[in-house]
Chains A and B, each alone.
Chain A
Amino acid sequence: MIARVLRDEIVRAEQQRRLYSALVVVLTLAVLIGGLRQASAMNSGSFFAGLSKFFDYPGEIVIEAWQAGPAFFGLLWRFLPALVETLNIALVATLLGGAAAVGLSFLSSRNLDVWPPLIPVVRRTMDVMRAFPELILALFLIFVLGTSPIPAMIAVAFHTAGALGKLFSEVNENIDRKPIDGLRACGASWMQRLRFAVWPQVAPNYVSYFMLRLEINVRASAILGFVGAGGIGSELRRTIGWGQGAGDETAALFVLLFLSIVVIDQMSSATRNRLVRGPALA
């Protein structure tokens, strides 16, 4: 009797769950189709027409790169300095932003004996830092400081401090507090507790987030070249702006970007493995 009642209840719950799933699917489709139609209408009808030509341009790039033959590798070599400049912007910005993020994250974690009223203040500050897109900040800074890699670097570092600070503080809040108590009972100062009880626990995760951010910042720095920050972005704007004829150069630039992202990803997992499984940290 009870089994029967239970069975009816389970069947009813199951039917309800299916109904909700179906509703979610229908809703998602409606939003998708509605959004596409809207976009098409605002483009005065050329959206779907343009869609058929979607692969024309990338196709052109690939064909031109193929036609270039061995000269393509010469292009890679020619654009290497531009890549180095972009990587440089990204690396310095990530290091500066990451260092600031470490400080901000310690001051915004509830489990690290920080003066409590300070925590929401630091958190809101990081929200503000994250809210500014790098592009807008870079445009503003380039207007003030002139076209050079420095404004781009500041813009990326500023955004990075906010973004990494939030991730770092989430890492901090997941640590084991027992080592902190252990060192507090020895008479260690707050800084010493952070250094020896918190840092060894959080460092491996910091490294993964840092490397992920470095990867994101390489792309961000490339984009900032479009607004005059130099590096690979400036080259891309030139070659894409020229349209036909510079396809091989565009392809070379994309290959360089792709390779650098792959290298960073490999370095990231290697470093993290060493930190987690390797010899003891100090």
Chain B
Amino acid sequence: MGRWDLEIVELSKTFGAVTAVDRVSFAMSEPQMIGVIGRSGAGKSTLLRMINRLTPASGGRIVVEGRNVLELRGREMREWQRLCAMIFQQFNLVPRLDVVTNVMLGRLNGHGAFKSLFAMFDRGQIEDALAALDRLGIADRALQRAETLSGGQQQRVAIARALMQRPKMILADEPIASLDPLSAEVVMKALREIRDRDGIPVICNLHTLDTARAYCDRVIGMRDGRVVFDGPSSELTPTAARDIYGAEAALDESVTSTSIGKAEAPAWGSPVVAGA
């Protein structure tokens, strides 16, 4: 934990003739909560997956503490993956394993082959996993199979697994896109709390503006693989939003809203919708 610098330089990804991420550059020198927004296919997921090394990059650099993490191989690469924990839209837990084991899997990096083969975990690891679950308010589910939990609960288990990794950064790829508004709020608050209490930076893909405004210090807007906006979320004006989402989205934010209890949000059924 503590302060560390992340610098992304001209990071690109091409799939055949298609450029999914086009020379993306940004830097972070203090633990911020960054929201990456943009339409589907704007390259947000690919960007996060490249940072975690789940998807190989086609070009560019990711520099952390003076090292280009794109050049790490084998054990060093997996150590990096442990340091930048990833949270997925579909939670990506192991459905048939119980919740506490799922959380302990966050410590697999560096866990011995023999201990892994026989699924042996230390008392300390069990205690850490329970503490992480308790922090997210789901310790009572520890012995249930992950598949029996609701989506919001599974995402909290996934966050507990991420904490178990003792990460230096958390990457969240559309963490609330499959959740109902109430669960979405719980999950976003948990991520924000991790940033505020532990000082762990969070980079979070979102596709709704209001969520980015409500929870993030900084917003990066992507369109067709390029960064078209990078600034404090307070500067995210309707004009900037139009740049990100395209001109045809004469943006009525209620259309993309996932938050609840906002008095100023227009009621559903308003005739002013996208494309009007």
> Which chain A residues have a beta carbon within 8 Å of chain B's beta carbons?
176, 178-179, 181-189, 191-192, 195-197, 200-201, 279-282
Contacts and interface: CB of A to CB of B under 8 A. Distances in A.
Nearest to A197: B94
B82 interface: yes
Contact of B81 (A185, A191, A196): A185
B12 interface: no
A174 to B, nearest CB: 14
The 7 residue pairs across chains A and B that have the minimum distance between CB atoms = A182-B92, A187-B109, A280-B98, A187-B81, A185-B86, A187-B78, A187-B82
Given A186-B106, A195-B119, A178 B97 contact: no
Interface string B108-125: 110101001101000000
Contact of B95 (A176, A184, A279, A282): A176
Interface of B: 52, 54, 77-82, 85-86, 88, 90-98, 101, 105-106, 108-109, 111, 113, 116-117, 119, 143-145, 158, 161, 165
Contact of A200 (B77, B94, B117): B94
7 contacts: A179-B93, A181-B54, A182-B93, A185-B54, A186-B86, A186-B161, A279-B98
B106 A282 contact: no
A201 B147 CA distance: 12
B109 A191 contact: no
B125 to A, nearest CB: 13
A192 B88 CA distance: 20
Contact of B80 (A187, A197, A200, A201): A187
A184 B53 CA distance: 9
Given A183-B105, A188-B105, A191-B116, A200 B90 contact: no
Contacts of A184: 54, 81
B256 to A, nearest CB: 25
A75 to B, nearest CB: 45
A192 B93 contact: no
B88 A178 contact: yes
Given A184-B81, A187-B81, A280-B96, A196 B54 contact: no
B121 to A, nearest CB: 9
Contact of A196 (B90, B97, B145): B97
Given A179-B93, A185-B86, A188-B105, 8 more contacts: A179-B95, A181-B92, A186-B106, A188-B109, A196-B119, A200-B96, A201-B95, A281-B96
Contacts of B54: 181, 184-185
Nearest to B116: A192
Contact of A280 (B86, B97, B108): B97
A186 B109 CA distance: 7
Contacts of A280: 96-98, 101, 143-145
Contacts of B109: 186-188
Nearest to B162: A186
Contacts of B98: 279-280, 282
A192 B111 contact: yes
Max count, chain A CB within 10 A of own CB: residue among B80, B86, B144: B86
Given A191-B116, A201-B96, A182 B88 contact: yes
A191 B108 CA distance: 11
Contacts of A200: 94-97
Max count, chain A CB within 10 A of own CB: residue among B54, B94, B96, B98: B94
B161 A282 contact: no
Contacts of A185: 52, 54, 81, 85-86, 88, 92
Nearest to A195: B116
B108 A192 contact: yes
A176 B119 CA distance: 21
Contacts of B117: 191, 195
A23 B87 CA distance: 58
Contacts of B95: 176, 179, 200-201
A178 B178 CA distance: 15
B268 to A, nearest CB: 32
B133 to A, nearest CB: 15
A179 B96 CA distance: 10
Contacts of B52: 185
B88 A191 contact: no
Contacts of B93: 179, 182
Max count, chain B CB within 10 A of own CB: residue among A186, A195, A282: A186
Contacts of A197: 94
Nearest to B48: A185
A191 B113 CA distance: 8
A92 to B, nearest CB: 22
A270 B141 CA distance: 27
Contacts of B86: 182, 185-186
Contact of B90 (A178, A187, A192, A282): A178
Given A186-B85, A189-B78, A282-B119, A196 B105 contact: yes
Given A184-B54, A185-B52, A186-B81, A196 B88 contact: no
A103 to B, nearest CB: 13
A167 B91 CA distance: 29
